[in-house]
Amino acid sequence: MLIDTHCHLDFPAFDSDRDLVIQRAINAGISYFINIGATLESSIASCELAQSNPAVYASVGVHPHDADGFDSRAGDKLKELAKRNKVTAIGETGLDYYRNLSSQENQKQAFTRQIKLAKELNLPLVIHCRQAEKEAMQILKAAMPVQAVVHCFSGDENFLKSCLDCGFFISYTCNITYKKAQNLRDMLKLTPLDKLMLETDAPYLSPEGFRGKRNEPLQIKLLAEVASRIKGVSFGELADKTTQNAKGFFGLK
């Protein structure tokens, strides 16, 4: 059994065959999907997808790319969504100083607000952090205790250590299969099994051999195979541990 802890099945890339994509993954042994909101609209779509699919759960949040529009009205709307059935987390939220599509000030404000909401509703956080490790850690440390997973981990060993010190989970995507991603494989090696989760971030980040194509939750299986080799454990052990971690973190049965 495997879980895709971070995918975007509501995106237009899946409009023509969403049900087939989900069924294909289920047939391959993926039992749950956490569909991650990136805007208010996609958070609503995530909730709807979770309502119509027994295997799909939702996370609701506003991505740092969209932090510029995240005013107090949007914050209220997000809070309302977060109370819906099958909502298991707040996010993705965080800081992205690589693309800076929203101002850094607004990103920090939106992140802080969503951390506050997660704590208020006792939900874990799904964190997106790119080239803003120091700033993100400052904000998170000031808000501790916080339950979080750092999605699509891309930081260095120092950041990994700080995240583990805070008790955060670390999630890796299919980009660990890329030839130039030795740094990510090194970080995965250093991540304890009991803090590890797997995700596709589909439709993004197709594995090596499929690059340029749409990614699908089905590829969690390939990711788990690669990750088990890197960790030096059996596929079964890696699948069991990461599934157990995801179930506990997102409160799945």
Residues at the contact surface with Zn ion, assessed by CB under 5 A:
201
Name the β-bridge partners of 126.
149
In terms of phi and psi (left: phi > 0; alpha: psi -120 to 50; beta: otherwise), the region of 122 is left
- Residue position matching structure tokens 């909502």: 87
Residue 233 CB, nearest distance to Zn ion (Å)? 26
- Residue position matching structure tokens 């309302």: 80
Q: Closer to Zn ion at the Cβ: 133 or 201? A: 201
Q: Which residues contact 70 (CB under 8 A, 6 or more apart)?
A: 62, 106, 109, 110, 113
| CA–CA dist 253, 247 (Å, integer) | 7
Reduced to 3 states (helix: H, G, I; strand: E, B; else coil), residue 145 is coil
Residue 234 CB, nearest distance to Zn ion (Å)? 29
| CA–CA dist 127, 133 (Å, integer) | 11
Q: What does the chain come to in residues?
A: 253
| CA–CA dist 180, 65 (Å, integer) | 26
Q: Closer to Zn ion at the Cβ: 129 or 224? A: 129
Residue 186 CB, nearest distance to Zn ion (Å)? 23
Residue 34 CB, nearest distance to Zn ion (Å)? 10
**What is the Cβ-side half-sphere exposure of residue 64, based on CA atoms within 13 angstroms?**
26
Residue 37 CB, nearest distance to Zn ion (Å)? 9
Q: Closer to Zn ion at the Cβ: 96 or 201? A: 201
DSSP 64: G
Amino acid letter, residue 101: L
Residue 8 CB, nearest distance to Zn ion (Å)? 6
Query: In this chain, which residue has its C-beta nearest to Zn ion?
Result: 201
